[in-house]
């Protein structure tokens, strides 16, 4: 029996994740890009070594250019999958990303997403444009998408049924720039939420956040 077969047989808690690692829709309709599969393989299990993955992603996609940032698993916020704090140079990965019920391709995509932010910040990019997913951010996303043959911003691999248990099933998308915000609340982001990016987004984009529940307006 191969080592891979033994791993599958001995890891029943990861069965749902493993079934989602094919190029056809899995039990939840999840479809994972083949370009992501080698990295998904690295973060299976209850306590994956994300630092090994971070090192590989940094070398392969950023030439080792992501420097000075710390990565932590966190339960501090429930309104996003992950986020980067430029001031403290910390990348936060929400604890639910490590759940066996959520396909690990989500973790890989979100990690790459935040590493793009960190890479641009390390490179001296404008922080407002970076945090707002402006042209410099989108250019990096396009570059990595071409290398992986996938779309880092595509959330079709998210099991919304799983997130509904955590009440994180309210997805708002700006109708102008496409910015995504995940919330536990059913009202759109506003000035009273104290989002550091809100005023800048309102001035530079001016779009409205529309609620999409399980991908349906």
- Residues forming CATH 3.30.2010.10 domain(s) in the chain: 3-166
Ranges of residues in the chain with a pLDDT under 70 are: 1-31, 77-79, 160-169, 184, 192-196, 213-217
The per-residue pLDDT for range 113-158, each reduced to its tens digit, is 999 999 999 999 999 889 888 899 999 999 999 999 989 988 778 7
What confidence score (pLDDT) does residue 6 get? 43
What pLDDT sits at residue 64? Answer: 96
Q: Which CATH number fits domain 3-166: 3.30.2010.10, 3.30.70.20, 3.30.1300.10, 3.40.50.170?
A: 3.30.2010.10
Tell me the per-residue pLDDT of 160-169, one tens digit each, with 9 for 90 and over: 666 665 556 6
Q: So what's the pLDDT on residue 68?
A: 96
Residue 201, both tokens: 């987004």
C-alpha of 189 from chain center: 19
Query: In this predicted structure, what is the pLDDT of residue 26?
Result: 45
Q: How far apart are CA 141 and CA 137, in angstroms?
A: 6
- The whole-angstrom separation of Cα 127 and Cα 133 is 10
Is the entire prediction scored with pTM above 0.75?
A: no
């Amino acid at each position: 029996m191969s080592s891979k077969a033994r791993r599958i047989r001995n890891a029943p808690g990861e069965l749902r994740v493993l079934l989602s690692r094919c190029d056809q829709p899995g039990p939840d309709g999840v479809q994972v890009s083949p370009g992501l599969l080698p990295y998904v393989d690295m973060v299976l299990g209850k306590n994956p070594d994300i630092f090994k993955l971070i090192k590989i992603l940094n070398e392969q996609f950023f030439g080792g250019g992501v420097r000075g940032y710390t990565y932590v698993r966190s339960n501090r916020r429930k309104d996003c999958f992950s986020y980067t704090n430029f001031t403290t140079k910390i990348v936060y990965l929400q604890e639910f990303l490590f759940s066996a019920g959520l396909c690990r391709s989500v973790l890989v995509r979100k990690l790459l997403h935040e590493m793009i932010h960190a890479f641009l910040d390390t490179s001296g990019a404008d922080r407002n444009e970076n945090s707002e997913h402006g042209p410099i951010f989108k250019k990096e996303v396009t570059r990595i998408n071409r290398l992986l043959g996938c779309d880092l911003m595509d959330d079709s691999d998210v099991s919304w049924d799983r997130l509904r248990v955590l009440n994180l099933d309210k997805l708002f998308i700006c109708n102008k720039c496409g910015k995504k915000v995940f919330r536990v609340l059913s009202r759109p982001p506003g000035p009273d939420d104290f989002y550091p990016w809100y005023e800048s987004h309102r001035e530079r984009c001016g779009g409205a956040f529309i609620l999409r529940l399980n991908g349906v307006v």
